[in-house]
Amino acid sequence: MNYLETLLMEQTPTEEEQKKLKFIASDVIKKINFICKKENIEATPVEVGSVSKNTNLKSSDIDIFITFAKSYSVEYVEKKGLEIGHNVVKNATEKYAEHPYVSGYVDGIKVDIVPAFRINKGEKIVSSVDRTPLHTLYVNSMIEEKMIRDIRLLKVFLKSINVYGSEVSKSGFSGYICELIIITFGTFKNFIEYASRLNGKMIIPKDCKKEFNEPVIIIDPIDPTRNAGAAVSEENLSKLKLAAKLYVANREDIIFHARPVVKTDRKTLMKVFVIKKPDIIDDIVYPQAVRLKNKIWNIFHRSGFMPVSCELYVGDEIEILIEYELEKLPNVQRHMGPPTESNESLKFIDVWKERSELMRGPYIVGDRIYVDMRTQYTDIDEIIRMELKKMDIGKNLNQFKDEIKILSGSQINSLNVMEKFYSKYLF
């Protein structure tokens, strides 16, 4: 038995666990049905998610959608959905994706109760959650018993190489596209062989006509205008291609057992920017953190501090690491003036004669006048603080702009982002 199968065994729920999940789900559904009947609400509870399709791994949660008739208003559906949710799951909290929903624990199992509109295949959706019950119906109608194991195998494989999960911070493969993949390829083996030979984009089905820009294109069978694989990043597709190659070449050692090399004597400079994390979901915070990281990188680059690499960690706080080469800028920088033949050249000379920033020159190189001028700010902290002041760092991050901590030296040793930096490896 190969190591992947060992992992599969470890992560496949026991019969007992599965029974418990089924029991809780049907109990919740019964309760919702009862309420809807009593209050004469035209709504149906539907179990969705991996448990409803038997494709779940261990420690899965239960997703119950309450699908309301399309005649109701969005406001009614949101309000009534939360009310019913709290009714059937005690001590639950309210969360927010596209709509508010209720999340809590029943008998130790996490249960999400999500209001949605009931639509049929081809009908216009109100929000993207409305599609989920149709996904479940589709998968359950197409799935064959023998595929269940291979869907779980694919999920375990993708989890091991860190590309499972459709959250923005993961940009990986969702459970739904794992199911679509096995429905299309029949077996895990077929798919992994396909992935090991794949060049360029992943396009499923092969003969798909609609064009998408994303690196992974998996046409959603219940809405062929939608790319179900849109969330997968190029990097994660790359990781899958490499892992598939390794798997087919019987190099499971590298996929599952290799340990990253850690040598810390890099003789570079490092700074970590620590920003408070606003209390909103990661899918919204993460892209703002990525953009901030890129902005800080660009300041280092533009100012001439020679950044070499960077890392982002989003935990309780946002940590942005920039590794760079130059400690301080020199006092001097070359400033290009006009061509000598232009009418600006005399003005340039007279202006610079008066300026205390002049360090050398003016002088001529080729067909232009130059001066060496004094650098205004030579310290990266100073430059960063100044540039941040004028900068929009993201709708939800702007409020913490003045509190950004700039750490370096021994202050950064124990930060999460440092661990992430040094443990960088293939998967």
Q: Interface with its own copies by CB under 8 A: which residues?
A: 198-200, 234-235, 237-239, 241-242, 245-246, 249, 251, 254, 258, 260-263, 265-268, 304, 306, 308-309, 325-326, 328-334, 339-341, 345-346, 349, 353, 358-369, 372, 374, 378, 422, 424-426
Shortest Cβ distance from residue 290 to its own copies (Å)? 14
Q: Pick between residue 69 and residue 249 the one whose CB is nearest to its own copies.
A: 249
CB 67 within 8 A of CB 44: yes
Q: Pick between residue 9 and residue 364 the one whose CB is nearest to its own copies.
A: 364
β-strand partners of 220: 223
Cα(122)–Cα(208) distance, integer angstroms: 18
Shortest Cβ distance from residue 396 to its own copies (Å)? 27
Q: Pick between residue 241 and residue 276 the one whose CB is nearest to its own copies.
A: 241
Count, residues in the chain: 427
Cα(184)–Cα(90) distance, integer angstroms: 40
Q: Which of 388, 149, 377, 361 is nearest to 275 (CA)?
A: 388
Q: Pick between residue 273 and residue 348 the one whose CB is nearest to its own copies.
A: 348
| Helices and strands per DSSP (H, E), number in the chain | 14, 15
Q: Pick between residue 37 and residue 267 the one whose CB is nearest to its own copies.
A: 267
Alpha carbon dihedral 153, 222, 72, 31, in 10-degree steps, equals -30
Shortest Cβ distance from residue 157 to its own copies (Å)? 16
Shortest Cβ distance from residue 366 to its own copies (Å)? 6
Cα(16)–Cα(24) distance, integer angstroms: 12
Backbone torsions φ then ψ of 114, nearest 5 degrees: -120, 120
Shortest Cβ distance from residue 363 to its own copies (Å)? 4
Two structure tokens written together for 374: 């004094």
Q: Which of 302, 309, 343, 282 is nearest to 95 (CA)?
A: 282
Sheet holding 216-220, edge to edge: 202-204, 216-220, 223-227
Shortest Cβ distance from residue 141 to its own copies (Å)? 34
Q: Pick between residue 178 and residue 237 the one whose CB is nearest to its own copies.
A: 237
Q: Pick between residue 150 and residue 372 the one whose CB is nearest to its own copies.
A: 372
Shortest Cβ distance from residue 171 to its own copies (Å)? 13
Cα 169 → chain centroid: 2
